[in-house]
Structure 1
C-alpha cells in the first residue's frame, strides 16, 4: 500500500517537509483512517537487478537517499510477465517512523504539495512524475490516490494563476499507441 512520508532532504526541508509516497504493509494501512475507500491488492513498481560488482555501492547510495523515513525489508516481487517471484530489497515506511505522516485530508495534502520544495526540486514535480510513471507501467497500474492528488494540485495551480479551478478535461483519445520506454529504446537501437 502507499502511505505518505515527510521529505526533509529531497522534496522539502527540515523546516517545511515535502510529501513523498512510501510503501507500507497492508496490516499497517488497515489500522489507519484513510480518506479513500480502499486500497488496491497490488502495488505496481519496477525492480532493478544490480550487477553483483555494484551491489555494495548501490546499497550505500540508497541507504543514504532512502533511509530518512524508511526501513529495509525483503519482499517477493512478482514480474508482470508471470515468471517466478524474486526476492527484493525495498525501503518501506512504518507508522512508528518519525517521518511517517500517514493519511491526510486530500485537499490539504494537495495544498501542502503545491507549496513544498527541496534540494531535489518541487514536490509537485515529484507527484506528477509519479503519476506518469505509474500510468506507464501497465493499464492496471494507475493509483487512484496519486491521480486524485495530481488532479487537485493542478487545479490549485490553475486557480493560483487566475485560471478556472476545474482542471481541463482529459484529452480525446489519440491514434497513437503508447509504448513503454523499454520498447522505445529497443526501437531507437534498431534504427541506429
Structure 2
C-alpha cells in the first residue's frame, strides 16, 4: 500500500491503557476483539507504571500457540478473543500519532498488524496496527504466577501513576466494551489486588475512566504526566 492509502486507512488497536487513554486525533472508536492471542500482565514497566529499580507489570499479547508452551499456571482463558478498542486516526495526523505512539510504547513494544473484528457492525473486519511486547524483548518476563504479579502491581508506581490503578482501570474499561468482553486473567488479578492494602501515596480512582477525544499529542502527553 502506498503512503496515501496507509494514512487514509490507519487503524490502531488498543488492548491495555489505550482503551481508556485513547490516542489523539481519532475520529472513530469501535469496540471489538482480535483472535489468536492471550493477554497477560507479563511485561515489565520501567517507564510508566514502575521504575528501573522496581519495574511494574503491564499487559502484552502472547500468541496462542506460544502461550500454550509456557506452562501458565492460570490455565486456559476460556476464549481466544482479546477485547479492546480500535481507533481510526485522522489521515492528516497519522505520522504525528505514530511518532507519539512510538514514544509511549517504547519500553519493549514493537509494531505488528492483525485483523480486528468490530462488535458493531459485526461483519466489519479491519486491519489494525497493534503494539506487542514480543517474547524476545528484554521486558518480557515469561509465565508468572498470578499472586506474584498481583503483589508487584500493588506495590509499583511510576511516572504515569500507580500500577494498581492501571489494572483496576483496565478491568472497568473492559466491562464497558461489551457483555462478552470480560477477561478472566484481568479479573483474577484485580480480585487479588483488591484484597491487599494499597501502597501509601496517591489514592486509586483519581482518573476519568471514560474515553474522550484528545486534540493534540501535547495534550495527551500532559495528561499522562499528570496521571
5+ long unaligned stretches in structure 2: 1-37, 201-209, 212-227
Q: Which residue of 2 aligns with 1:10?
A: 48
The DSSP-based 3-state class of the residue aligned with 1:35 is coil
TM-score, normalization: structure 2? 0.68
The structure in which a higher percent of residues are helix is: 1
Q: Does 1:77 align with 2:116?
A: yes
| Deviation (angstroms), 1:101 | 1.1
Distance in 2 of aligned mates of 1:104 and 1:41 = 20
Q: Which residue of 2 aligns with 1:90?
A: 130
Q: Does 1:38 align with 2:76?
A: yes
Distance in 1 of aligned mates of 2:67 and 2:123 = 28
Q: Does 1:68 align with 2:98?
A: no
Q: Does 1:53 align with 2:92?
A: yes
Distance in 2 of aligned mates of 1:56 and 1:149 = 36
For residues 77-114 of structure 1, the C-alpha deviation after alignment (integer angstroms, 9 at most, x for no partner) is 11012132110100012111110112211111111111
Distance in 2 of aligned mates of 1:60 and 1:30 = 34
Q: Which residue of 2 aligns with 1:110?
A: 150
| Deviation (angstroms), 1:24 | 2.0
The answer to whether the 8 A contact 1:11-1:118 is kept is yes
| Deviation (angstroms), 1:66 | 0.7
The DSSP-based 3-state class of the residue aligned with 2:47 is coil
Q: Which residue of 1 aligns with 2:65?
A: 27
The DSSP-based 3-state class of the residue aligned with 2:86 is coil
The answer to whether the 8 A contact 1:28-1:94 is kept is no
Greater alpha carbon shift after TM alignment, 24-33 vs 91-100: 24-33
